[in-house]
Copies of this chain bind each other. A is one copy, B any other.
Amino acid sequence: MTQNKKTPRYREIADGLIADIVARRYAVGSSLPAESELCEQLQASRHTVREALRILEEGGLISRRQGSGSEVVADTPPVRYRQTVDTIEDLLQYGKQSRLSLLGTRELAAHAALAQRLRLPEGTPVIELRGLRSERGEARADGTRLPGRPFALTTIWMSAQPARRRDKLLHPDTALSTMLAALDARTLGRIEQAFTAVALDADAAEQLQTKKGAPSLCAERAYFDKKGALVLVARSLHRADLFRYATVLRHEAV
């Protein structure tokens, strides 16, 4: 029998405040009493009250602003799931066993649908990269490698601005490293991703060495930097028999 640990005071206070918010005794949009007032009401030190408020803030129930106070921003403890990855490669699940080879790069004027996805005016010049991701392939006795099977056909669109980057993106030798530099995990703030299933068209099927009409997992991703500006949009078509996208979501306690 394991002895239950005594609930600390700050946790009791946090739970009480959460209960108050859930019961709408503090409405969303209204302010919580000031820390000093809570100290009096609850007969606790400011340190203890602040520890409790920190829990509410981390749980997304309140937001605190210096000089202004603590505002209730939600009345249902949001359920959060966290996905931890070390690199963007991990996020994309391509790993070290695969390599991306550039098929081509070109400049085009954004048509309506593309312009909307890139949040750019219609007709704006855009750089398009196409690449093929392949398995790493077996090592041969002489040290060379057998060609691996291609499993993902990726198309990437980026703004043609600034001009210096545009030139690098159009040059086959520097295109990939320039694109990957833009995807540096340190600069990214938000990734929107969507998965759909599609039937491969003739062109994509040929690139992926499979049949036209074969089912394919399509991943569309828009990458935004920390300021919220769109960095690039990518669409990958995966051979269904060679690729699955798997994640673990971990629950975060309130």
CA–CA, A13 and B234, complex, Å: 38
CA–CA, A199 and B213, complex, Å: 10
| A77 nearest CB across to chain B (Å) | 9
Stretch at the interface among A30-38, A95-103, A124-132, A189-197: A189-197
A23 contacts the other chain (CB 8 A): no
A113 contacts the other chain (CB 8 A): no
| Residues in B neighbouring A252, C-beta threshold 8 A | 82
| A187 nearest CB across to chain B (Å) | 9
| A29 nearest CB across to chain B (Å) | 18
The answer to whether B84 and A60 have CB atoms under 8 Å apart is yes
Contact of A192 among B79, B189, B214, B246 (CB under 8 A): B246
Contact of A198 among B213, B215, B247 (CB under 8 A): B215
The answer to whether B190 and A216 have CB atoms under 8 Å apart is no
Q: Is the interface of A mostly helix, strand, loop or mixed?
A: strand
A240 contacts the other chain (CB 8 A): yes
* Per-position binary interface string of chain A over residues 64-91, scored 1 when its CB falls under 8 Å from any chain B CB and 0 otherwise: 0000000000001011111111111001
How many residues of A are in contact with the other chain, CB < 8 A?
Answer: 46
| Residues in B neighbouring A79, C-beta threshold 8 A | 84-88, 185
CA–CA, A216 and B218, complex, Å: 11
Residue of A60, A197, A244 contacting most chain B CB atoms (<10 Å): A197
| A148 nearest CB across to chain B (Å) | 20
A238 contacts the other chain (CB 8 A): yes
CA–CA, A194 and B91, complex, Å: 13
A25 contacts the other chain (CB 8 A): no
The answer to whether A196 and B244 have CB atoms under 8 Å apart is yes
CA–CA, A60 and B216, complex, Å: 36
Residue of A81, A86, A194, A244 contacting most chain B CB atoms (<10 Å): A81
Q: Can you list 20 contacts pairing A with B, beta carbon distance less than 8 Å? A: A78-B84, A78-B85, A79-B185, A81-B83, A81-B91, A81-B191, A82-B82, A83-B83, A91-B249, A188-B251, A191-B248, A193-B248, A194-B244, A194-B245, A194-B247, A196-B243, A196-B244, A197-B240, A199-B214, A226-B251
